[in-house]
């Protein structure tokens, strides 16, 4: 597909349609992400969050597709724009939100912040705040998996702008050279902070770059949850079979600013309007109902469930204590004796 | 590593052979140890031959020659650590670490902290420094950069036995370690080194020579230079105590301070640039703790403030003469 077709397609019946419980799980994830994302942006704008929040609006379908395919044995390395990825992998919204508020019940005891979420128990291995730096780390995880005998996939997500940094190319080269069980998922939202993709990339079809590394690649409509899910499934299964890496470009559009508090006026209104027509959760909701795959009543129940889940998570985060000041010196090294002696 | 028994057998080794022995012993005991680096497998065995023979013994899966891509070498090591492996990443020359600085200081050093202790990344980055044979991009002593980054151990051995014991300690550490080897020490000095498992705890300085008049604090390639200076000072009736720090993080301030408390004079010597170098921190600490005990201000002898020059006619490195002169000014 090309950018020109973006605003004219909707969720398709690409490939086989999963069972209702999978579809509902995907919808639940999308609507939860949207609601939590909107609320986080509000909290950031109101000054109640310590730092900016990096919204994932527009990428919900890709995240839901990841959630439908990945198991806890598969490992995911994500970026600072990670809310949907974390939920997809099974990280609880309570621990995510507590980390956003810098509280002790956060995934990192409040010491990492939203850019450094993790939950190794569910295979959510790391998130990084340096654009593109997660790719070589994921290569190492995939190598560990290959050395362990394989059977699981390592997935790394990153934005389109990450394809400009050297670490991206080095990681692609290592993965292809060593036939690692890894899936590179570019969540192409078509913006690198405040710069549109056409102004920093000579070819906006990023999937084409994989051919330089003799790596299988696919470019998929990232607003189309099913098409994306099938593409991820194919790539992840290839990795689980130890048949090597895949590059997957999921073309979406960022429906908000770079950060939850940043000015957003630089985004062309017509482009944004067209993309908003394809807002993932409402689009998927309509498709599910129109296709008779679920009922309006069931959707309403899922919406209420998601609202309650998000409300609970924010309340939990607000009520969670701040870390004790002593935490400053723990976790610098395994043993904090020397750290305390030098301060 | 689960082996804790110390080897009693020894053999005469160079530092390069001692490091090879440390890697060999550790790889035999722990199949989770993976080596990564440019040209490290056979037939090269690493450009300094530190990994010679290891790929033949343990296979190219575990002794893995990589493309020339330092970010990916260290990033892969970090990922291996997250996946339960112990990676040793070889960065051929210390200066090249600028290429992978992000993975060393933003990822390896911070992952434990940023995750509240959940995902430590105990990797060892081995690298080589020293001599101006190749010019300014193959010679700079950059240890201060890493001392300034909380979360990574900085290790710099000065002898074959220490080279083995400290590398073994890095491989056993629960934290990331930067292990800096000196090119001039790799083959020049031979000594008895335990052949089996042998490790030296990080953070323990070594008092190489006792003395009552002045404390000379140094590490790595300046150790033999300082020892020679101590000999010359002894001939002049000045008894210098020589301390080899061995590790810069954790830094053994206790040994340094208890020595200076007795000698009441100190000179810190290192090959890193003197300006903002490791000596500045050590000097400041001595002044803060022992100001009233000092007979004279602590002195530093580091490299002059220039890139490392190529021509052998030029050198900003510390010399025996500079050290002796610095001590004499204190007396």
- Among candidate residues A227, A263, A250, A217, the one with its CA nearest the CA of residue A10: A227
Report how many domains make up chain B: 2
What local confidence, expressed as pLDDT, does residue B132 receive? 66
The string of DSSP letters for B51-118 reads: TTTHHHHH-TTTEEE--S-HHHHHHHHHHHHHTT-EEEEEESSGGGGGGGHIIIIIIITTHHHHTTTS
Q: What is the rounded CA–CA span in Å between residue A153 and residue A174?
A: 16
* pLDDT, tens only, A295-332: 999 999 999 999 999 999 999 999 999 999 999 999 99
Looking at chain A, the whole-number percentage of residues with pLDDT higher than 90 is 90
- Residue of chain A whose Cα is closest to the Cα of B31: A147
Please report whether residue B3 resides in a domain.
no
* pTM of this structure: 0.95
Q: Tell me the shortest Cα–Cα distance from B72 to chain A, in angstroms.
A: 5
Identity of the residue in B61, B66, B118 whose CB atom sits nearest the CB atom of A118? B118
- Catalytic residue list contains B148: no
Token pair listed for B59: 């296979």
If asked whether residues B186 and B219 sit together in one domain, one would say no
Q: What is the rounded CA–CA span in Å between residue B120 and residue B112?
A: 4
Q: What is the rounded CA–CA span in Å between residue B50 and residue A79?
A: 37
Q: What is the DSSP letter of A130?
A: S
Cβ-Cβ contacts under 8 Å, A335 against chain B: 174
Q: What is the rounded CA–CA span in Å between residue A184 and residue A156?
A: 5
pLDDT in tens, chain B (331 residues): 344 455 589 999 999 999 999 999 999 999 999 999 999 999 999 988 999 999 999 999 999 999 999 999 999 999 999 999 999 999 999 999 999 999 999 999 999 999 999 999 999 999 999 766 788 999 999 999 999 999 999 999 999 999 999 999 999 999 999 999 998 888 889 999 999 999 999 999 999 999 999 999 999 999 999 999 999 999 999 999 999 999 999 999 999 999 999 999 999 999 999 999 999 999 999 999 999 999 999 999 999 999 999 998 999 999 999 999 999 999 9
Q: What is the DSSP letter of B190?
A: E
Structural domain ending residue among the three candidates B194, B227, B255: B194
3-state SS assignment for residue B155: strand
The catalytically annotated residue of B138, B182, B197, B270 is B138
Residue with tokens 């580091």: B302
Identity of the residue in A75, A116, A174 whose CB atom sits nearest the CB atom of B114? A116
Cβ-Cβ contacts under 8 Å, B282 against chain A: none
Please report whether residue B201 resides in a domain.
no
If asked whether residues B110 and B213 sit together in one domain, one would say no
Domain range for residue B51? 10-194
Residue A268 in this model has a pLDDT that exceeds 70: yes
Check CB contact under 8 Å for B118 and A108: yes
Please report whether residue B147 resides in a domain.
yes
Token pair listed for A39: 């609320």
Q: Which helix (H) or strand (E) holds B191?
A: strand B190-194
Q: What is the rounded CA–CA span in Å between residue A143 and residue B79?
A: 8
Chain A within 8 Å of B120 (Cβ-Cβ)?
A: yes
Sheet architecture: strand order including A124-128: A124-128, A75-79, A154-159, A182-188, A246-251, A217-221
pLDDT-derived band of residue A14, with 50, 70 and 90 as boundaries?
low
What's B264's domain CATH number? 3.40.50.920
Residue with tokens 């292990």: B179
- Residue of chain B whose Cα is closest to the Cα of A169: B72
Q: Which helix (H) or strand (E) holds B323?
A: helix B320-330
- Residue of chain B whose Cα is closest to the Cα of A330: B113
- Among candidate residues A18, A27, A42, the one with its CA nearest the CA of residue A306: A27
* pLDDT, tens only, A29-75: 999 999 999 999 999 989 898 877 899 999 999 999 999 999 999 99
Give the strand pairing for B266-273 and B299-303: parallel
pLDDT-derived band of residue A13, with 50, 70 and 90 as boundaries?
low
Query: In Å, how far are A343, B215, B287, B323 from B290, measured between CA atoms?
Result: 18, 13, 5, 22
Q: Taking a C-beta distance cutoff of 8 angstroms, is the pair A105, A95 a contact?
A: yes
Please report whether residue B278 resides in a domain.
yes
Cβ-Cβ contacts under 8 Å, A144 against chain B: 79-80, 82-85
If asked whether residues B262 and B114 sit together in one domain, one would say no
Chain A within 8 Å of B288 (Cβ-Cβ)?
A: no
Please report whether residue B1 resides in a domain.
no
Q: Tell me the shortest Cα–Cα distance from B69 to chain A, in angstroms.
A: 6
If asked whether residues B243 and B310 sit together in one domain, one would say yes
Q: What is the rounded CA–CA span in Å between residue A109 and residue A323?
A: 7
Sign of CA pseudo-dihedral B120, B121, B123, B125: negative
Q: What is the rounded CA–CA span in Å between residue B129 and residue B143?
A: 10
Please report whether residue B213 resides in a domain.
yes
If asked whether residues B165 and B284 sit together in one domain, one would say no
Instruction: Tell how many helices (H) and how many strands (E) occur in chain B.
Output: 12, 14
If asked whether residues B218 and B150 sit together in one domain, one would say no
Identity of the residue in B69, B87, B107 whose CB atom sits nearest the CB atom of A128? B107
Q: Tell me the shortest Cα–Cα distance from B61 to chain A, in angstroms.
A: 8
- Among candidate residues B19, B83, B87, B78, the one with its CA nearest the CA of residue B53: B19
ipTM value, please give it: 0.95
What local confidence, expressed as pLDDT, does residue A8 receive? 38
Interface test with B, best of A139, A174, A333 (most B CBs within 10 A): A333
Token pair listed for B92: 């051929």
Identity of the residue in B80, B102, B250 whose CB atom sits nearest the CB atom of A130? B102
Q: Taking a C-beta distance cutoff of 8 angstroms, is the pair A249, A217 a contact?
A: yes
Structural domain ending residue among the three candidates B140, B168, B194: B194
Interface test with A, best of B27, B79, B281 (most A CBs within 10 A): B79
- Kindly give the residue spans of alpha helices, DSSP state H, lying in A148-268: 166-177, 225-240
Q: Which helix (H) or strand (E) holds A156?
A: strand A154-159
What local confidence, expressed as pLDDT, does residue A72 receive? 95
Structural domain ending residue among the three candidates B166, B194, B222: B194
Residue A174 in this model has a pLDDT that exceeds 80: yes
Mean pLDDT of chain A: 94
Q: Is B312 exposed, middle or buried (0-12, 13-18, 19+ CB in 10 A)?
A: exposed
Cβ atoms within 10 Å of B163's Cβ, excluding its own: 33
Cβ-Cβ contacts under 8 Å, A177 against chain B: 67
Please report whether residue B217 resides in a domain.
yes
- Kindly give the residue spans of alpha helices, DSSP state H, lying in chain A: 20-45, 60-69, 83-89, 93-100, 134-147, 166-177, 225-240, 269-276, 280-290, 296-319, 337-342
Q: What angle do CA A175, A177, A183 make, to 5 degrees?
A: 25
If asked whether residues B182 and B119 sit together in one domain, one would say yes
Q: Tell me the shortest Cα–Cα distance from A263 to chain B, in angstroms.
A: 28
Q: What is the rounded CA–CA span in Å between residue A277 and residue A283?
A: 8
What local confidence, expressed as pLDDT, does residue A10 receive? 53
If asked whether residues B111 and B184 sit together in one domain, one would say yes
Please list the residues that pair with B193 across neighbouring strands: B11
- Among candidate residues A206, A288, A294, A287, the one with its CA nearest the CA of residue A251: A206
Check CB contact under 8 Å for A170 and B69: yes
Check CB contact under 8 Å for B76 and A147: no
Check CB contact under 8 Å for A136 and B118: no
What local confidence, expressed as pLDDT, does residue A4 receive? 37
Chain A within 8 Å of B247 (Cβ-Cβ)?
A: no
* pLDDT, tens only, A94-123: 999 999 999 999 999 999 999 999 999 999
What local confidence, expressed as pLDDT, does residue B8 receive? 81
The separation between CA B69 and the C-alpha centre of its own chain, rounded to angstroms, equals 23
Check CB contact under 8 Å for A148 and B83: yes
* pLDDT, tens only, A125-154: 999 999 999 999 999 999 999 999 999 999
Chain A within 8 Å of B175 (Cβ-Cβ)?
A: yes
If asked whether residues B93 and B229 sit together in one domain, one would say no
What local confidence, expressed as pLDDT, does residue B6 receive? 57
If asked whether residues B289 and B164 sit together in one domain, one would say no
Q: Tell me the shortest Cα–Cα distance from A274 to chain B, in angstroms.
A: 38
If asked whether residues B230 and B93 sit together in one domain, one would say no
Check CB contact under 8 Å for A143 and B75: no
Q: What angle do CA A309, A314, A320 make, to 5 degrees?
A: 120
Q: Tell me the shortest Cα–Cα distance from B253 to chain A, in angstroms.
A: 9
If asked whether residues B39 and B148 sit together in one domain, one would say yes
What's B46's domain CATH number? 3.40.50.970
Please report whether residue B200 resides in a domain.
no
Query: In Å, how far are A131, A161, A219, B70 from A166, measured between CA atoms?
Result: 10, 12, 22, 10
- Residue of chain B whose Cα is closest to the Cα of A146: B61
């Amino acid at each position: 597909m090309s950018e020109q077709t973006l605003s004219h397609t909707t969720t398709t019946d690409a490939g086989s349609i999963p069972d209702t419980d999978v579809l509902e799980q995907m919808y639940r994830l999308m609507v939860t992400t949207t609601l939590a994302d909107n609320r986080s942006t509000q909290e950031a704008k109101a000054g109640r969050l310590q730092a900016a929040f990096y919204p994932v609006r527009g990428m919900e379908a890709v995240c839901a597709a990841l959630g439908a395919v990945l198991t806890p044995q598969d490992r995911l390395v994500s970026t600072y724009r990670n809310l949907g990825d974390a939920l997809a992998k099974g990280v609880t919204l309570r621990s995510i939100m507590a980390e956003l508020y810098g509280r002790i019940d956060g995934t990192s005891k409040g010491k990492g912040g939203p850019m450094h979420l993790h939950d190794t128990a569910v295979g959510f291995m790391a998130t990084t705040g340096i654009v593109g730096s997660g790719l070589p780390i994921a290569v190492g995880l995939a190598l560990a998996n290959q050395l362990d005998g394989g059977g699981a996939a390592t997935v790394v997500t990153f934005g389109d702008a990450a394809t400009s940094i050297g670490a991206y190319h080095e990681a692609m080269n290592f993965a292809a050279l060593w036939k690692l069980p890894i899936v590179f998922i570019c969540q192409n939202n078509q913006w690198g902070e405040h710069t549109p993709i056409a102004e920093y990339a000579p070819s906006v079809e990023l999937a084409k770059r994989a051919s330089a590394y003799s790596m299988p690649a696919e470019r998929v409509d990232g607003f189309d949850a099913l098409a994306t899910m099938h593409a991820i499934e194919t790539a992840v299964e290839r990795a689980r079979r130890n048949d090597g890496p895949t590059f997957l470009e999921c073309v979406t559009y960022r429906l908000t600013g770079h950060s939850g508090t940043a000015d957003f006026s630089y985004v062309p209104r017509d482009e944004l309007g067209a993309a908003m027509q394809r807002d993932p959760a409402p689009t998927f909701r309509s498709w599910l109902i129109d296709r008779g795959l679920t009922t309006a009543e069931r959707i309403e129940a899922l919406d209420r469930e998601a609202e309650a889940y998000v409300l609970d998570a924010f309340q939990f985060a607000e009520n969670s204590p701040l870390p004790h000041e002593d935490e400053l010196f723990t976790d610098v090294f395994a043993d904090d004796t020397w750290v305390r002696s030098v301060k | 590593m689960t082996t804790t028994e110390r080897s009693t057998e020894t053999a005469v080794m160079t530092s390069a052979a001692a490091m090879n022995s440390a890697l060999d012993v550790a790889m035999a005991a722990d199949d989770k140890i993976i080596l990564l680096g440019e040209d490290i497998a056979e037939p090269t065995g690493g450009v300094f031959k530190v990994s010679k023979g290891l790929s033949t013994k343990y296979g190219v899966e575990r002794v893995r020659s990589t493309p020339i891509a330092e970010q990916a070498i260290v990033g892969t090591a970090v990922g291996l650590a997250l996946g339960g492996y112990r990676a040793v990443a070889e960065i051929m020359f210390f200066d090249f670490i600028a290429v992978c600085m992000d993975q060393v200081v933003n990822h390896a050093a911070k992952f434990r902290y940023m995750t509240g202790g959940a995902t430590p990344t105990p990797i060892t980055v081995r690298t080589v420094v020293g001599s101006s044979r190749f010019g300014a991009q193959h010679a700079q002593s950059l240890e201060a950069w890493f001392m300034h980054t909380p979360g990574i151990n900085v290790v710099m051995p000065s002898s074959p036995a220490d080279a083995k014991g400290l590398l073994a300690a890095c491989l056993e550490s629960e934290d990331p370690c930067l292990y800096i080897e000196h090119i001039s020490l790799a083959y020049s000095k031979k000594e008895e080194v335990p052949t089996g498992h042998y490790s030296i705890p990080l953070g323990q300085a070594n008092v190489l020579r006792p003395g009552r008049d002045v404390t000379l604090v140094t590490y790595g390639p300046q150790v033999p230079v300082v020892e020679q200076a101590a000999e010359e000072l002894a001939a002049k009736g000045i008894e210098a105590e020589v301390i080899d720090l061995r590790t810069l993080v954790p830094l053994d301030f206790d040994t340094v301070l208890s020595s200076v408390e007795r000698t009441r004079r100190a000179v810190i010597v290192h090959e890193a640039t003197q300006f903002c170098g490791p000596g500045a921190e050590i000097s400041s600490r001595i002044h803060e703790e022992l100001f009233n005990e000092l007979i004279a201000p602590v002195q530093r002898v580091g490299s002059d403030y220039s890139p490392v020059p190529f021509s052998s006619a030029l050198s900003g490195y510390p010399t025996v003469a500079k050290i002796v002169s610095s001590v004499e000014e204190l007396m």
